Amino acid sequence: MPGTRTFLIPTAVLLFASSAPAQKPTDDYLAFVGSYTHPTATTTSASKGIYAFRFDSKGGTLAPLGLAAEAVNPAHLWASPNGKYLYAVSWQSPDKMDTVAAYRIDHKTGMLTLINKVSAKGDLANQVVLDSSGQLAGTVTYASGTFTLYRVEGDGRLSESFYTDQHTGTPLSPRQPGPRAHGIAFSKDSKFVYVTELGLDRVYTYRVDAASHTVTPLDPPFVNLPGGSGPRRLQLHPNGRFLYVNHETDSKVTVFEIHDGSLKAMQTISTRPADYTANNSTAEVQIDKEGKWLYVSNRGHDSLALYSVDPGKGTLTLVEYIPSLGRTPRNITIDPSNEYLFCANQNGENVVVFRIDHRTGHLTPTGSQQLVPQAAGIAVVAAPVVRSR
């Protein structure tokens, strides 16, 4: 029936959904959850910033450690590759001067100490991402349509920006609002960075020289997606040959093949069931570290769309829709061990942990749910428990 939720579960998934990984991880982690601190009509409790949890990777459970840092709308988080620092954007501060903040992580307590803040170079900063070396950071702003790069110093501090590009252009569809930058992905070698432009239906490519801190837009600087698609976030395949972009507006995901930074669209596939006609928008896309399974969060259908990834072509095949166990799944992330997927349900005001079945891609909830008002970005870092003698 139109408007009903359909959860497609193939035979292969039914056979293996309950199977456990051959070897369970043994290290413990810290999980940080950002939030929206501005009250809404549906908010049941107040949020104050970034919350910390101890994550037991044997049982897949979260234990709350409390408010790690008070901040205004820390909507997206990113941990440094060495696990020492955490970075957060501030979405629409009261003075409208949005910032990107660097924090030092106390691995014993999970608390955060502010190192510094820098300007996001625009309004409604919505993502911060570090490259694989941990020496470059980038952010994008939704209201201003800007993309900005920073150096990351040895002590985790962010430099002032060394590059900003403000997108301009005429939308391909009258439904689109104009420049609205929304996502960033660095190539594995940090020579390229890809940026989604939701309001102009574009994906930009920039060539980066990390040594000289120079940035050059590719020629041509972007590829177009269909008018009204709304490209939002993006993920690179672990082999670096394919790029996956989820569409916020039309609930699809596009697969691009990469050749020296240039993008060629190969496939576009829906993220929602054909018979689901109610409102829906996608939020986040994630791929496992083996490059076998891709997940996209559906806000409205309140599910995670699961796809298998062709190892040679990079193309996607729909496997199933997995309930997010909350309303409006915004951010999803896979932990460093590649064994768990975390889902932040913004209007459900909870964070849910799922165990990944690597043979099928299926997600099984571990039973650990934690309350986080208006949950948004999630970052997980290795943090062995310090035991008293």
Q: How confident is the model at residue 93, as a pLDDT?
A: 62
pLDDT in tens, 277-331: 999 999 999 999 999 999 999 999 999 999 999 999 999 999 999 999 999 999 9
Q: How far apart are CA 11 and CA 6, in angstroms?
A: 16
Each domain of the chain, given as residue ranges in start order, spans 27-382
Least confident of 31-45, 79-93, 294-308: 31-45
Q: How confident is the model at residue 384, as a pLDDT?
A: 55
pLDDT at 88 > cutoff 70: yes
pLDDT at 8 > cutoff 50: no
**CATH number at 27-382:** 2.130.10.10
- Decide if 242 contacts 311 (C-beta within 8 A): no
- Strand 28-35 relative to strand 49-56: parallel, antiparallel, unpaired? antiparallel
**Stretch 85-101: mean pLDDT:** 86
Q: How far apart are CA 281 and CA 151, in angstroms?
A: 33
Q: How confident is the model at residue 97, as a pLDDT?
A: 78
Whether the model pTM is above 0.85: yes
| DSSP state string for 138-158 | EEEETTTTEEEEEEB-TTSPB
Distances (CA, A) of 47 to 51, 66, 71, 93: 9, 11, 10, 14
**Stretch 141-149: mean pLDDT:** 96
Q: Which of 110, 23, 129, 128 is nearest to 62 (CA)?
A: 110
Q: How far apart are CA 311 and CA 292, in angstroms?
A: 7
Q: How confident is the model at residue 46, as a pLDDT?
A: 79
